[in-house]
């Protein structure tokens, strides 16, 4: 029996007791079996309303962990590719974030942390304990405003590009922003962070980034502008600020899907995000619009979920160890996420 047939067989056997969720960067062969496909915000929002006893998450680890933080006690979260991490999320370690917050707070200023959802449960827990919250690429502007209303300065983490792009969108002056020393990613922040860094700043920025989105360059965009002045360029806000500033539009994966769908027939659109999504959009709009990748960038971790691994996970639902989060982490991490869900209801 093929993997596809095994998956569909288990799905019809389990009915509503099973829900398969998938991120837009998953391959077509995986998304063919998902009940819900979405960007990070949409997927997080759907967890609480799900009746299913088993929730299988096709994406990277932090997404399954977010589901495990938000799940009801009787629900079990599974991930077909537990080795799929997000390199950006790995750039912020919870004890370093906590240490940096302690040092920055010695300035006497109230620092509110705001973590991108691409972060570990441990980081979300630290943020929750420090009265902060979470954002996704779909609500970063709203959540940065939320955080700024609650303190003297915000520590935005881990994505420095999303932080700067959001600050640009909100008109936060450059002199009020400050990016922490890159060494805090690997080393003890006590060596690199000082309370003086808060002086005159409203936005402190953790120096992480997405290695996939960082590959898109302004030079490629300028060549396209030169060669095809009519073409539009839409980018994900994890791209560098020079790329994002030059784009016609930027937004979450769901925003990009909508932007492409709403573009007039005959448009040519270059898209700067993960290749699976760009290829799907090109296929979906074939013959009507020309959709091209700015350059082809693949997230290896997103690609770790395959139809075979999904089939294997579905066949061990009752015996597999579910993804879970220790209670002392879950409680504050949940608070951080709930603040976001409430602010963006």
Give the binding site for ligand 13P (CB under 6 A): 24, 39-40, 118, 136-137, 210, 236, 238, 252-253
Q: Give me the least distance between CB of 209 and ligand 13P, in Å please.
A: 11
Q: Based on C-alpha coordinates, what's the Rg of the chain?
A: 20
136 binds, among ligand SF4, ligand 13P, none (CB under 5 to 8 A by kind): ligand 13P
User: What does the alpha-carbon distance between residue 87 and residue 84 come to, in Å, rounded to a whole number?
Assistant: 9
137 binds ligand SF4 (CB under 6 A): no
Partner from ligand 13P, ligand SF4, none binding residue 250, C-beta < 5-8 Å depending on class = none
Q: Which residues pair with 112 in a beta bridge?
A: 154
- Cβ(7)–Cβ(311) under 8 Å? yes
- CA torsion 189→191→192→195, rounded to 10°? 80
Nearest approach in angstroms of CB 272 to ligand SF4 is: 11
- Which range, of 43-51, 294-302, 303-311, 319-327, touches ligand SF4 by CB under 6 A? 294-302
Residue 34 CB contacts under 8 Å (≥ 6 apart), including other chains = 20, 21, 22, 26, 58
Q: What is the distance of C-alpha 223 from the center of its chain?
A: 29
Assess 87 for contact with ligand SF4 (CB under 6 A). Answer: yes
In terms of C-beta density within 10 A (0-12 exposed, 13-18 middle, 19 or more buried), how is residue 193 classed? buried
210 lies in the binding site for ligand SF4 (CB under 6 A): yes
Is residue 231 within 8 A of residue 268, CB to CB? The reply is: yes
Could you say whether residue 118 binds ligand SF4 (CB under 6 A)?
A: yes
Give min distance, CB of 36 to ligand 13P, in A: 13
Q: Which stretch binds ligand SF4 (CB under 6 A): 175-183, 242-250, 263-271, 295-303?
A: 295-303
Number of residues that bind ligand SF4 (CB under 6 A): 13
Helix H or strand E segment including 145? helix 140-148
Find the shortest distance in angstroms from Cβ 41 to ligand 13P. 6
* Contacted entry of ligand 13P, ligand SF4, none for residue 39, CB cut-off 5 to 8 Å set by kind: ligand 13P
Q: From ligand 13P, ligand SF4, none, which one binds at residue 40 (CB under 5 to 8 Å depending on kind)?
A: ligand 13P
163 sits near ligand SF4 (criterion: CB under 6 A): no
- Residue 253 touches which of ligand 13P, ligand SF4, none (Cβ within 5-8 Å per kind): ligand 13P
Strands 290-293 and 133-135: unpaired
39 vs 65 by CB, closer to ligand 13P: 39
Closest CA relative to residue 244, chosen from 287, 210, 198: 210
Please tell me whether residue 172 adopts helix, strand or coil conformation: coil
Alpha-carbon distance values, 105 to 155, 163, 193, 199 (Å) = 11, 20, 11, 11
Which listed option, ligand 13P, ligand SF4, none, makes contact with residue 313 (CB within 5 to 8 Å by class)? none
| Contacting residue, 56, 212, 272, 340, with ligand SF4 by CB under 6 A | 212
Strands 290-293 and 54-58: unpaired
With CB under 5 to 8 Å by kind, the binding choice for 78 among ligand 13P, ligand SF4, none is none
The yes or no reply on residue 65 touching ligand SF4 (CB under 6 A) is no
Cα 159 to Cα 3, 15, 135: the distances in Å are 37, 39, 11
Positions that interact with ligand SF4 (CB under 6 A): 60, 86-88, 118, 210, 212-213, 238, 274, 299, 301-302
């Amino acid at each position: 029996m093929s993997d596809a047939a095994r998956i569909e067989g288990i799905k019809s056997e389990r009915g509503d007791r099973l829900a398969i969720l998938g991120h837009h960067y998953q391959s077509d062969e995986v998304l063919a079996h998902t009940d819900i496909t979405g960007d990070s915000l949409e997927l997080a929002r759907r967890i609480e309303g799900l009746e299913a006893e088993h929730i299988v998450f096709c994406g990277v680890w932090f997404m399954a962990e977010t589901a495990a933080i938000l799940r009801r006690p009787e629900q079990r979260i599974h991930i077909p590719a537990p080795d799929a991490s997000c390199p950006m999320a790995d750039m912020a370690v919870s004890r370093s974030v906590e240490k940096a917050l302690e040092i920055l707070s010695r300035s006497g200023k109230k620092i509110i942390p705001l973590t991108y959802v691409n972060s570990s449960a441990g980081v979300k827990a630290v943020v929750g304990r420090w009265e902060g919250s979470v954002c996704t690429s779909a609500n970063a502007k709203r959540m940065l405003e939320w955080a700024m209303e609650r303190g003297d300065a915000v520590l935005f983490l881990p994505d420095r590009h999303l932080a700067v792009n959001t600050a640009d969108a909100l008109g936060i002056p450059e002199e009020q922003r400050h990016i922490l020393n890159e060494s805090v990613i690997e080393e003890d922040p006590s060596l690199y962070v000082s309370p003086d860094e808060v002086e005159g700043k409203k936005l402190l920025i953790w120096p992480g980034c997405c290695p996939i989105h960082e590959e898109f360059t302004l030079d490629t965009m300028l060549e396209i502008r030169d060669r095809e002045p009519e073409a539009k360029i839409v980018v994900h806000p994890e791209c560098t600020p020079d790329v994002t500033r030059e784009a016609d539009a930027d937004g979450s994966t769901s925003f990009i899907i909508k932007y492409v769908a709403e573009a007039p027939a005959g448009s040519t659109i270059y898209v700067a995000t993960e290749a699976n999504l760009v290829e799907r959009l090109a296929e979906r709009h074939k013959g009507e619009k020309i959709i091209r990748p700015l350059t082809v960038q693949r997230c290896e971790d997103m690609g770790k979920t395959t139809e075979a691994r999904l089939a294997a996970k579905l066949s061990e639902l009752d015996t597999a160890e579910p993804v879970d989060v220790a209670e002392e982490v879950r409680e504050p991490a949940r608070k951080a996420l709930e603040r976001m869900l409430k602010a963006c209801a």
